[in-house]
Amino acid sequence: MEKPRITFFDTTLRDGEQAPGCSMGVYDKLRMARQLDDLGVDVMEAGFPIASEDDFRAVRLIAAELSRPIIAGLARASEPDIRRAWAALETAQRPRIHVFLASSDLHLQCKLKITREQALEQVDRAVAFAKSLCGDVEFSPEDATRSDLEFLCRVVQTAVDAGATTINIPDTVGYSIPDEFAGIIRMVRERVLGIENVTISVHCHNDLGLAVANTIAAINAGARQVECTINGIGERAGNASLEEIAMVLSVRQAQLPYQTGINTQKIYPASSLLSEIVGFTPQPNKAIVGRNAFAHEAGIHQHGVIANPLCYEIMTPESVGVQGNNLVLGKHSGRHALSKRLAELGCPASGSELDSVYTRFMKLAESKKKIYDQDLLSLVPVAARPRASAHAVS
């Protein structure tokens, strides 16, 4: 039997760009969109067309240029928003209008100041209007995980009846936990009539550090579209990270028998381009794309990785587009890593000679955080150094 396919909906250009310090110009968005296309995302949320003239232009440019992925534009559940989104998307070969309206009483009462019945009427009108313009309509009940669940099902039912083709359940403020979130997905599948003809999507935020865990739980509960961003960028603590979801599904195939269209070898190039555009990199210990993700300093780990990388790496660096692992030499390193690096520098050492160099190396490492190749060469007797390197160091 063919494995179920998980659709990757990337919102780096919309929700990701809303993060403080992550704004992108029109042509930066276009560059990033091309990279996301190369990565293999299925749906690309290119922006919020009514938010600004630049957002409108970016969505329109991306929609006109990219023919493979679905291009989505976000719209509030109002006719002006939906018209503006469609004006930006109308040249796309595969357009989608993504409509949202809050479903939690907190948002309805404090932010929108409308009743539940008014919300249901607004969802019905907005989704039906979007459907009259575009065959592919996604609906999101904002703050779904803090909504009354009976009412949430009524909102979803209204959107399905009005013609939505995708229903997205967002954990807007990262409040849910995996078992709870999976239960919400199962409940929607059980209670909403016609839901079997609609794609169930999830959009998880990372306020409690559970965005990816909630997303995986939702997949196992029947969700078939995941909304995510490169490097996990997004509002507040960010979104579910595309690279983490993709590699969980890749590495744990026996437990998660799903297929995707993501070319994992393009993950690191996408991460790097985004870092260049927004002007900052992920934290060093960020899973998959952080600079320490495939770095090893502890001697025991280095010995294991030298013997067989699988000892301490559950995926190869090359599988995500990184050019090999990195054995970092520091005060936690052992003789194996030092010996390997000295051999690579053209001055192999073993036995008592290695012991002597290692003793000097440890003294240096205790006083200096970063050890350079020149530092290593300075520890080796001059006669043992490669001629070119000895000249460079002297």
Q: Domain of 109: which CATH number?
A: 3.20.20.70
Q: Which of 278, 307, 330 is the last residue of a domain?
A: 278
Burial of 350 (0-12, 13-18, 19+ CB in 10 A): exposed
Confidence band (pLDDT; 50, 70, 90) for 391?
very low
Q: Is residue 288 part of a domain?
A: no
Q: Which of 214, 249, 278 is the last residue of a domain?
A: 278
The Cα 218–Cα 214 span in angstroms is 6
Residue 322 has pLDDT above 90, yes or no: no
Same domain assignment for residues 180 and 51 = yes
For residues 247-267, give the mean pLDDT: 97
Same domain assignment for residues 236 and 368 = no
Same domain assignment for residues 78 and 127 = yes
Same domain assignment for residues 97 and 46 = yes
Q: Is residue 222 part of a domain?
A: yes
Same domain assignment for residues 273 and 377 = no
Same domain assignment for residues 238 and 116 = yes
Same domain assignment for residues 196 and 85 = yes
Same domain assignment for residues 15 and 118 = yes
Tokens 């002006």 locate to 80
Q: Buried b vs exposed e over 273-303: b needs ≥16 C-beta within 10 Å? A: bbbebbeebbeeebebbbeebbebbbbebbb
For residues 162-170, give the mean pLDDT: 98
The Cα 326–Cα 17 span in angstroms is 31
The Cα 10–Cα 41 span in angstroms is 7
Same domain assignment for residues 213 and 153 = yes
Q: Is residue 16 part of a domain?
A: yes
Same domain assignment for residues 78 and 223 = yes
pLDDT value at position 53?
Answer: 96
The Cα 225–Cα 229 span in angstroms is 13
Confidence band (pLDDT; 50, 70, 90) for 280?
confident
Q: Which of 222, 251, 278 is the last residue of a domain?
A: 278
Same domain assignment for residues 135 and 178 = yes
Same domain assignment for residues 351 and 315 = yes
Non-local (6+) Cβ contacts of 130 within 8 A are: 75, 82, 85, 86, 97, 99, 137, 163
The 10s digit of each residue's pLDDT in 223-247 is 999 999 999 999 999 999 999 999 9
Containing structural domain, residue 143: 7-278
Q: How many domains does the chain have?
A: 2
Residue 90 has pLDDT above 50, yes or no: yes
Q: Is residue 360 part of a domain?
A: yes
Confidence band (pLDDT; 50, 70, 90) for 394?
very low
Q: Is residue 62 part of a domain?
A: yes
Tokens 């013997």 locate to 307
Instruction: Find residue 228's DSSP bridge partners.
Output: 10
Q: Is residue 122 part of a domain?
A: yes
The Cα 251–Cα 108 span in angstroms is 41
Higher pLDDT, 280 or 374: 280
For residues 69-81, give the mean pLDDT: 98
Q: Is residue 1 part of a domain?
A: no
